[in-house]
Amino acid sequence: MKKVAITRQEQKELTRSGLIQTATRLFAKNGIANTATADVAKAQKVSHGTVFVHFPTREDLILAVIDEFATKLSQEFGNCMQQSDLRKLLVFHLEVLAEYEDFYHRLISELAHLPPKVQSMVFMLNAAISWKLYESAKPLMESGHLKKMSQPFLFNTWIALVQYHVMNRELLSDKLPILKEKKNEMIDHFINLIQTQKGERK
Amino acid sequence: MSAKCKSCGSCGMPMEKVEDFALGDSNHQYCQYCTDKKGKLLPYDKILAMNAKYYMESQGITADAANKLAVNLLKTQPAWKEIL
Ligand SMILES: [Zn+2]
């Protein structure tokens, strides 16, 4: 009896993650606002009711996709925070975003028109990244290796660089994901911008 | 939010380590920031202000905009859905 319950739970989990995968693909391909939960049901060959059980609205589906890459990010960050290596942090950020770049491209292009909760979640995720970044940069600012700047300007300079490249990725790179192609250049450039002469010598 | 990873029923923060949970108890439904020393949920106004401040300090978001982001963040959370 107990075994059956576990199998059913596992089946539910499988369905759920399958729906998230399909939604990620459709959001990326057709746009987020252009994808309805019914489209996800059709592509996944399940009933609309099945989608509804897991994700009553499109908003819930979008949030689930964001949740997935947010979880990946925080796992990667958790692993690298012991040594609080700034470069590693930036590498992980770009690597996770590159994996979701097709979706991320749609997300930031459509953000102003997406449900308010989605906007709140995106800026909450960025808030967490901003804290990690500042946490690892602060000691280096105090030791004179990095230029002194405020937390918002440190983070906004970085995210502006990242998002501009993603927004215009077809123009700026022959190959996609652009965040994979330009990863090292972008990180080198950013570190160059924020470090002092003392930091350069190190 | 997701079935696998627990998140705070008040602010939505993902809770991974035991320290993230109220009272360091991984069965608790709320995070350490949303609760007092006894594990009781803080008043809505306090939690709203805390989240707004987080938006402001991390990204330079204005007070008004940060407040709106925080309101929309909390609106659909289990702890506040009923009362708002
Ligand atoms: Zn909380």
What would the pLDDT profile of A113-146 be if each residue is shown by its tens digit? 999 999 999 999 999 999 999 999 999 999 999 9
What confidence tens digit (pLDDT) does each residue in A27-47 have? Answer: 999 999 999 999 999 999 999
* Domain assignment of residue A134, given as a range: 59-201
Write the CA distances from A116 to A59, A201, B22, integer angstroms: 9, 46, 28
Instruction: Give a yes or no: residue A18 inside a domain.
Output: no
Instruction: Give a yes or no: residue A159 inside a domain.
Output: yes
Q: What is the total count of domains within chain A?
A: 1
The domain locations on chain B are: 6-80
Instruction: Give a yes or no: residue A79 inside a domain.
Output: yes
Supply the CATH number for residue A113's domain.
1.10.357.10
Q: Answer with the residue of higher pLDDT: A201 or A186.
A: A186
Instruction: Give a yes or no: residue A192 inside a domain.
Output: yes
Instruction: Give a yes or no: residue A144 inside a domain.
Output: yes
Mutation target among A9, A120, A121, A156 for the B interface, most CBs of B within 10 A: A120
Instruction: Give a yes or no: residue A21 inside a domain.
Output: no
Closest approach of chain A CAs to the CA of B5, in angstroms? 8
Q: How many CB pairs under 8 A join A and B?
A: 65
Q: How far apart are CA A52 and CA A158, in angstroms?
A: 38
CA A87 distance to own-chain centroid: 17
Mutation target among A58, A81, A124, A125 for the B interface, most CBs of B within 10 A: A124
Instruction: Give a yes or no: residue A5 inside a domain.
Output: no
What confidence tens digit (pLDDT) does each residue in B33-84 have? Answer: 999 999 999 999 999 999 999 999 999 999 999 999 999 999 989 999 877 6
Instruction: Give a yes or no: residue A100 inside a domain.
Output: yes
Q: Kindly tell me if the per-residue pLDDT of B2 is higher than 50.
A: no
Taking alpha carbons only, the member of A81, A86, A82 closest to residue A145 is: A86
Q: What is the ipTM of this complex?
A: 0.89
Q: How far apart are CA A86 and CA A201, in angstroms?
A: 16
